[in-house]
Amino acid sequence: MEQRHLGRTGLRVSRIGLGTLTWGRDTDEHDAADLLKTFWEAGGTLVDTADVYGDGESEYLLGKLMDGLVPRQDLVISTKAGSVPDPDRRFDGSRGHLLSALDASLARLGTDYVDVWHIHAYDPATPLDETLAALDIAVGSGRVRYAGVSNFCGWQLAKAATWQLAAPGVRTRLASTQMEYSLLQRGVEREVLPAALDLGIGLLPSSPLGRGVLTGKYRNDSAPADSRGASEHLALFVEPYLDDTASRIVDAVTTAADGLAVTALQVALAWVRDRPGVAAPIVGARTAQQLTAALSVEALSLPDEICRALDDVSAPVHRYPDHDWSTL
């Protein structure tokens, strides 16, 4: 699999990443082992998890599989910290919480470092410089090799990255930002992606298949029994993308796939993989067969006319102040 630099850093990652959101909950050890082995054998390196996935079981399971199935040094492990299961405070970006969470993640993963450590979300109750100081400490101690953020809006990302570049002392520049991005969710193009491109930050799209909807499996107004839309945990996650707008986009993707003699999954994934600024979409497959189908996109490059058609049908509405008024 082709490798890409993560942002403006020397770290190279496979241009498709493996997501582990459901590991330890909906995905058991046997299926997880099949997924990881399939990914590794295809040349995949980037594996993404978080301390809250499966209440820590995702990290634990990944660590267990690295202890014998796939060599640790062959993988680029990305995890996150900052989300908390507290209804009164969903995010905790304090230095104390983040560094304690990192130590717990390392213990579950069975490793003494992670390759990329993301702040899971912006915490308005904690000064941003305190949150970013945790990144500096983590990298300085050798427990983290590269750092990034997740779910930061445009101004938050720009502020964080600029602080790391401009503040005195040895600071850790942001390597990446993880955000939802697909043909069904192009909101990052408004401010986040331009900021990332300008600041040399690599984008790691989550849910690149529109939470599974872009595969076309929901076209008959029903959720297959083995799909996320029928899952007790993820049905509400899928539901927002089952509207008429999404249906029109899925129809266009399917039409493009038919014309190219490929699958809708391949078209949707190739589109987001090759967008400017994207380092590696994170694919959360349920089975090794699904993952193999996703990895088959490696050989596909969409023709320019197909890309333009998909761009048009899925174009978000961006008006003032995003419109280039200098052309008027």
> Which amino acid is it at 247?
S
Backbone angles phi, psi at 5, to 5 degrees: -70, 140
- 169 token code pair: 């002392």
- 323 token code pair: 């419109």
> Do residues 183 and 271 touch, judged by C-beta distance below 8 A?
yes
Integer CA distances (angstroms), 265 to 114, 155, 257, in order:
30, 32, 8
Q: What is the DSSP secondary-structure string of 48-112?
A: E--TTGGGGHHHHHHHHHHTTTS-GGG-EEEEEE-B-S-TT-SB---HHHHHHHHHHHHHHHT-S
> Which amino acid is it at 79?
T
Active site residue 241: no
Any residues with CB less than 8 A from the CB of 254 and at least 6 apart, and which?
Answer: 216, 219, 264
Rounded Cα distance between 21 and 96, Å, is 25
Vertex 279: Cα angle to 160 and 15 (nearest 5): 150
**Catalytic positions:** 53
